């Protein structure tokens, strides 16, 4: 029994020694591998260091969207009719102001034409006076020549010379008569030109006086209506706030196409105030209820009833 136990102890010891040898070899292999592939210390530090937390962005909550002001159809119609009346007044101011500069321009053009015409008449009159003076000089020269021929007749030697001088005197006399006729004709033309100059000068004076008045009127009108036009433009912008964009675009399109600039008209004697065509009773009833916007089926203008007009006047 003692031998058997000793044998078991020896076997256990050998097994333990064998296990230690194997572990020693494994440890040696690991050490050799670690020396062959060394890792940098920084990487180990980075790997071991805890990760930094990213900064948290603070996102503001969206502001609540304001609800658009609800405008009833009746309010839209009142705003449209008010807008139409304001725009019509602005058109009147601009139209009246726009006609004055055109009238002034026409007057200035006419004045320039009259001045040129008067200048041409004066040049023509000067030419007439020069022609008359030339003819008078010619008459004097011809009379002197006739006197010379008459003196020569007293000293002629034969009838042939006398007849020749007589014919020459007759010819010069006819020449004097022709020059006198030309003078009369030119004088008549010059008198006609003088009358035209007087009429043109009178018209020129009238235009100059009217031009001065028109310029003063335009100056006072611009000063007087400028403030009113600014107020009307502000009121027009305020009325546009109560009209949605789609309806406002349609309103401006109708105004542009309409001859008199009317896009919103009332009903008068059961007819459209723009084209004067009769409106069916059912459409009139729909217009009076103010539940929707009704346009004329003939001209396309927006129609309003007396109730809307009275609200505008109030």
Confidence class for position 39, pLDDT limits 50, 70, 90? very low
**Residue predicted with more confidence, 217 or 265:** 265
β-strands 264-268, 271-272: how paired? antiparallel
Average pLDDT over the chain reads: 78
Number of independent structural domains in the chain: 2
Residues of the chain by 3-state class (helix, strand, coil), percent to 5: 75, 5, 20
Task: Give CA–CA dist 16/270, Å, rounded.
Answer: 124
Would you say residue 41 lies in a domain? no
Model confidence, pTM: 0.45
44, pLDDT greater than 80: no
Confidence class for position 61, pLDDT limits 50, 70, 90? very low
Would you say residue 132 lies in a domain? yes
Task: Give CA–CA dist 304/267, Å, rounded.
Answer: 7
Query: Which range of residues forms the domain containing residue 213?
Result: 92-239
Same domain, 97 and 235: yes
Residue 280 Rama label (left phi>0; alpha psi -120 to 50; beta): beta
Same domain, 143 and 200: yes
Question: Which of residues 194, 220, 239 is at a domain's end?
Answer: 239
- What's the confidence (pLDDT) of residue 187? 93
Query: Which whole number is the average pLDDT over 84-92?
Result: 87
Query: Which whole number is the average pLDDT over 127-148?
Result: 92
Task: Give CA–CA dist 221/95, Å, rounded.
Answer: 12
Among the residue ranges 23-32, 187-196, 212-221, the one predicted with the least confidence is: 23-32
Same domain, 286 and 147: no
């Amino acid at each position: 029994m003692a031998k058997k136990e000793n044998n078991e102890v020896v076997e256990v010891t050998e097994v333990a020694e064998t296990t230690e040898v194997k572990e020693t070899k494994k440890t040696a292999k690991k050490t050799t591998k670690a020396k062959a592939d060394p890792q940098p210390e920084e990487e180990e530090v980075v790997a071991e260091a805890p990760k930094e937390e990213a900064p948290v962005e603070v996102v503001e909550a969206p502001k609540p969207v304001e609800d658009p002001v609800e405008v009833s159809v009746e309010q839209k119609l009142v705003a449209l009719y008010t807008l139409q009346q304001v725009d019509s007044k602005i058109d009147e101011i601009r139209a009246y102001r726009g006609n004055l500069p055109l009238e002034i321009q026409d007057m200035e053009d006419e004045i320039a034409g009259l001045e040129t015409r008067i200048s041409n008449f004066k040049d023509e009159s000067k030419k007439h006076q020069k022609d008359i003076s030339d003819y008078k000089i010619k008459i004097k020269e011809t009379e002197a020549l006739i006197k010379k021929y008459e003196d020569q007749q007293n000293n002629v030697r034969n009838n042939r010379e006398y007849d020749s001088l007589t014919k020459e005197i007759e010819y010069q006399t006819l020449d004097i008569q022709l020059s006198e006729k030309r003078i009369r004709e030119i004088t008549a033309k010059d008198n006609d030109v003088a009358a035209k100059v007087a009429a043109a000068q009178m018209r020129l004076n009238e235009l100059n006086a009217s031009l001065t008045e028109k310029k003063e009127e335009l100056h006072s009108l611009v000063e007087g209506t400028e403030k009113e036009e600014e107020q009307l433009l502000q009121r027009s912008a305020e009325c546009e706030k109560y009209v949605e964009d789609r309806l406002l675009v349609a309103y401006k399109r109708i105004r542009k196409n309409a001859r008199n600039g009317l896009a919103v008209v009332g009903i008068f004697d059961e007819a459209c105030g723009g084209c004067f065509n009769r409106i069916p009773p059912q459409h009139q009833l729909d217009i009076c209820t103010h539940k929707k916007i009704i346009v004329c089926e003939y001209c396309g203008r927006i129609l309003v009833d007396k109730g809307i007009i009275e609200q505008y006047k109030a």
